[in-house]
Structure 1
């Protein structure tokens, strides 16, 4: 107890529990949920000396209570039920069928159903037959601004939630054409002003009444329609955010511009338009948004569209004349692909145009590379959580001397060992590389001033079948170790480190991705007192001569983050194939190491931490080689298994055991000079 170690488990258990209980109590009082708290007439909650006034009390409790209490118990539920039932019946009627619905917005009227978003559940209540124009999936797309512009034109009390848009007040001369342009089949109104305007519109047919709702069928609102004129392309307009939305909103509000949709991309023969800055007289702030320049009108031949079929993630239709652009009134996303047509091209406001090449066209919505990477990341995260659930090997409190594994303190190299420096080159199927590697390493270090003895080059042939070992001997390697079968880079480096006899022992890749002149920096770091010198590609002074492929960079960084999460803590670059050790450190580490594959670097760094060795990080210059044999994605299952094996061995105390002496090297022919 005098050392304080006996109390730590108790403290580490109790402190988080007390902190969690205190935080839960304060939050419950703030939300007004604490059972023992008293609510006073002024709305304040009091618990002993603690008081939360009605003004300070968090609104989340009331908001959640209102929005998630349910629908059936509310006074307006019969009205909501009647509306949903009527829309469901309309969808089942052959004369009308399924389609999109835009409903007039009013916070109080619609909110009485439980939430202003209650009609968004129409797709759920109608098995997907009636689609809500204002819904969660709809609001995940760049079509949202145009929906709210249209809602403002067709509602007496619109929401107008997006700022900076050119909203119009109740205006059916614009709103009804916008319904048609958006493929909206049904419109529902309840206010006196909106109902009167709807009754006077020749393109709206009253078909049903449900409580306060008047429901109308919108004429000429097909999801796929021919175009009177060829689209024009705005090459100089970014598709990101307001850069596209602002000029598209001006186009949306200008009936004279509707005949020619503006595309973000398209064939070379389509005409081009530019972006015009808003008027800015006398330096005053712009009075409007940016807009597209006037587009020329190039008439298109008529085309008949038939047999449209709409499913959850696909849409298909037939045309009688391939080669004529047609408009698809579905929100553009990069995930859309098309068969039987060119495109899809994004057009104003946020629809798609395709150019049929066959009489039958099918658009389908699928996953992209970004989503596949996200799924891979999720799987790695799940694997990380599973590994974290196992007993962690990393200790966050310093052990007593009695608990510590044997260590050599400052691992000074034994005296009298020659040569001074050994460089290990692991090689697999590298007969075309190993000769140049031996020559360049010898040239780079042969005259280094820090060498007070000979340089030793050790090549380990990891079961190659192309004559790598023979090529290494011809090139003048001092030691060649041949493994009987291909076991992996970890096995090759371990064999080389235990076969080497230098007082300092370095390893680098045989493809010389790290130019060998940098080996001197590892030697200098070890001479300055470090047990282990680590190359670091993330160092501020590191350089890249030729970058790796983006997929390789992403995979490497994900693996590095994964290993730091589940095993290591200190290292920014776990996989750099450029490291140096004193002889004592090399024998302590590689005498205990067992991982043969790609994850051997992780095991080495774990042992550096476990043995409490001193380290120095060295910036490196890297020239990524196309000859690498590392395929991280293909080796991913083995890598994850190896990291699990490291954690298991660490938890079992296997790394605390005395190291395996150099005679425990992998079996194979004796080293040959």
Structure 2
């Protein structure tokens, strides 16, 4: 008896989330360098006054522009994650320091079964021409502390080039993105550390992929080495003593996230 042919498996769709604030000179080249085949490009603009949104639309008229409720990179990313509709979400900076051509390597590891794929500058094939010795030393110390406290094996805690399955957003447990008012914990540059720790605590499958960080194309970074480094340290310590379980984690692993069931905590550094 003949059996019906299986329909071809549909390729997972991809959203790219780019937080911006006065990046008019940088956003165009970043958008132009994105690989083809992306279903959704979301620009989350933090009230830019230099024409960032207009510059972005000149290059990609199809972008979705999303506003954030409060200030900060973390709040912008949370707003972008909430707006994303695709199976996979890639987060990338707007300053030109991260190479959009690396996106396929992130997607490849999601296709292989990783839930969360983290870029690292400190694996073979990765690197940086932007990080100072002071920041590198600080990153090493914070990275080591996180690995000791949470049993992880991260090599680059504070780097923000990551990709993940959309269902992971429930595990991030970020403050509501569009509520206005005072800045909340998670709204700033501590966002990468926060989600890295929560993904590990949720025992999702993590992969690391080499990534090369260049200097930003134009302008100056909003990152402040000492204040933001201390904020990351406070984030690590706050997460260590956090008593309540991650909301939705239990439900996520049994109902909402059937493809993201808890796995043995691990971080694989994979070559491209």
Q: Which of 472, 477, 487 is 2:56 aligned to?
A: 472
- TM score, norm. by length of structure 1: 0.32
Distance 1:498 1:430 in 2: 22
Report 1:239-250 matches (<5 A): none
Distance 2:73 2:47 in 1: 11
State the 1:547 CA deviation.
4.5
- Residue pair 1:419, 1:455 contacting (<8 A) in 2 also: no
Report 1:418-457 matches (<5 A): 420-441=13-34, 445-446=35-36, 451=37, 454-457=38-41
Question: Is residue 638 from structure 1 mapped to residue 226 from structure 2 by the alignment?
Answer: no
State the 1:568 CA deviation.
5.5
For 2:3, the equivalent position in structure 1 comes to none
Report 1:117-516 matches (<5 A): 420-441=13-34, 445-446=35-36, 451=37, 454-476=38-60, 477-485=62-70, 487-516=71-100
Instruction: Report Cα offsets for 1:524-574 as digits up to 9, x if no partner.
Output: 111111111111111123234x24322232233233233334446321111
Question: Is residue 598 from structure 1 mapped to residue 179 from structure 2 by the alignment?
Answer: no
Distance 1:579 1:634 in 2: 23
For 1:571, the equivalent position in structure 2 comes to 154
Higher relative CO (Cα under 8 Å, sequence separation at least 6) belongs to 2
Instruction: Report Cα offsets for 1:419-463 as digits up to 9, x if no partner.
Output: 81111111122122112221221xxx11xxxx5xx5311111134
Q: How many residues are matched?
A: 231
- Residue pair 2:120, 2:208 contacting (<8 A) in 1 also: yes
> 3-state DSSP class of the match of 2:43?
strand
Instruction: Report Cα offsets for 1:236-270 as digits up to 9, x if no partner.
Output: xxxxxxxxxxxxxxxxxxxxxxxxxxxxxxxxxxx
For 1:589, the equivalent position in structure 2 comes to 171
Distance 2:50 2:68 in 1: 14
Q: Which of 211, 232, 246 is 1:620 aligned to?
A: 211
State the 1:629 CA deviation.
1.9
State the 1:633 CA deviation.
0.8
> 3-state DSSP class of the match of 1:434?
helix
Structure 1 residues 568 and 479, CA gap change in structure 2 (3 angstroms): farther
- Residue pair 1:433, 1:510 contacting (<8 A) in 2 also: yes
Structure 1 gaps, min length 5: 1-414, 662-673
Structure 1 residues 423 and 574, CA gap change in structure 2 (3 angstroms): same
Distance 1:615 1:646 in 2: 19
Distance 1:656 1:497 in 2: 16
For 1:540, the equivalent position in structure 2 comes to 124
> 3-state DSSP class of the match of 1:511?
coil
- Residue pair 2:17, 2:43 contacting (<8 A) in 1 also: yes
State the 1:619 CA deviation.
1.0
Structure 1 residues 568 and 483, CA gap change in structure 2 (3 angstroms): farther
Distance 2:138 2:32 in 1: 32
Instruction: Report Cα offsets for 1:110-167 as digits up to 9, x if no partner.
Output: xxxxxxxxxxxxxxxxxxxxxxxxxxxxxxxxxxxxxxxxxxxxxxxxxxxxxxxxxx
State the 1:638 CA deviation.
3.1
Question: Is residue 651 from structure 1 mapped to residue 243 from structure 2 by the alignment?
Answer: yes
> 3-state DSSP class of the match of 2:15?
strand
Distance 2:145 2:92 in 1: 24
Distance 1:526 1:653 in 2: 26
Structure 1 residues 635 and 547, CA gap change in structure 2 (3 angstroms): closer
> 3-state DSSP class of the match of 1:633?
helix
Distance 2:105 2:12 in 1: 18
Distance 2:52 2:228 in 1: 23
Larger CA deviation: 504-513 vs 619-628? 619-628
- Residue pair 1:426, 1:460 contacting (<8 A) in 2 also: yes
For 2:262, the equivalent position in structure 1 comes to none
Structure 2 gaps, min length 5: 1-8, 176-185, 257-272
Distance 1:614 1:654 in 2: 17
RMSD between aligned residues: 2.7
> 3-state DSSP class of the match of 1:652?
coil
Structure 1 residues 470 and 645, CA gap change in structure 2 (3 angstroms): farther
Structure 1 residues 564 and 598, CA gap change in structure 2 (3 angstroms): farther
Distance 2:220 2:228 in 1: 17
